[in-house]
Amino acid sequence: MKAIQTLYVNYKTVFTNEEWSKITIFEHQFWKKNGTELEYEESLRRKKTFLLKLKQAADVGKKLSFDGSRLIYENQRRREASEVINGETLTLHGITHTYDGITKIDFNDIISNEYTVVAAECIESLCIDHSHGIHIFVEVESATDFQTYDDHATLLRSNMHKKHGVVVPEIIFMEENTLSTYNCKNCSLSAVHKFHIRDDYFSKKLGDKVLYVSRELEESYTDIFTPDTIDCNDLIYCEHCFRGIAGYIDRPLNWRHFDLLKEWYVEVPLEFQIILGSLFINKESLRRSDEGDNYLYSKTGRLFALLDSG
């Protein structure tokens, strides 16, 4: 960096190294934009104007930083919403639920035991003696008496009825380590092939691994609640299953398939569109290009990716 005539090194000891570094950069940038021969009063006036512009730029930067962080957060939640909506769901009596939501039971609220639970939807062709609902498979650590199973089944059903409005015709209690044989090797550690275990249950392949089956037929359903729901896009979602994404269920973001230009013009704050568009989209190149739409799409895609990655 060339020596700056107005930067008096005698003042350096008055400032910290960081402060002096900032002063040096300020002076260097100022004199790049101005003539070196200025009267003191004029240089001071211009420096005040320059400093004001820098403060304004800093304020804009803070605002954009906040908006950018908010955009990243919103897009992340919208992606989560898309994954939930397009994930494993089941629709019972016109209400859409998630398997994760149904099986996430806080057992401390209802029984002292911590059970591993898997739920699978009823099969209409096989479940001819009860209403359309779910079967719950419960893995227990140790066998107990039938009355205890029935008590636990009553509490589990009540939990399902009140939170989801779902009927549970059968709750199947199984011996320890049964579910591990149905783990999905290509999924998360907690993922179980629920439909495989349901099919093996109906085909009697589980054998003596089944410790007890609690049944409650159609005429017994006297306390089914209508669950809280979220109405969106002509669909009805179970509020308990979808509460984590309730604010984003109407505009999920599928990162594999989405309208790039719509995302840019509708979701990205206008300040970003104006500033980044002015900096990185060359209007002259766009005008001269024979493929203007492709040029604009490519540039917008890069800017969107830059914003979305933080």
Please check whether residue 156 is in contact with residue 173, taking contact to mean a CB–CB distance below 8 angstroms: no
**Which residue type does 70 have?**
R
Tens of pLDDT along the chain (310 residues)? 555 556 677 788 888 989 888 888 898 888 888 876 778 888 889 999 999 999 998 998 888 888 888 988 998 999 989 988 888 888 888 889 988 888 876 655 555 555 677 888 887 766 666 657 888 888 887 767 788 888 888 888 888 888 888 888 889 998 888 888 887 776 654 567 888 888 888 888 988 899 999 888 654 555 567 788 999 888 899 998 898 888 888 888 888 888 888 888 888 888 888 888 888 877 777 677 767 678 788 888 888 888 877 6
Q: Domains along the chain? A: 58-85+253-310 (no CATH), 89-248 (3.30.300.30)
Exposure class string for 191-212: b at 16+ Cβ within 10 A, else e? ebbbeebbebbeeeebeebebb
Distance CA 137, CA 26 (A): 69
Side-by-side strand order, sheet with 170-174:
116-121, 134-139, 170-174, 210-215
Write down the pLDDT at residue 125: 67
What is the model's pLDDT at position 56? Answer: 92
Question: Residue 296's closest CA among 275, 309, 277?
Answer: 277
State how far the Cα of 200 lies from the Cα of 196, in Å rounded to an integer. Answer: 6
Residue 189: what pLDDT? 46
Task: Give me 10's structure tokens.
Answer: 């005698």
Residues β-bridged to residue 236: 231
**For residue 78, how many other CB atoms are within 10 A of its CB?**
23
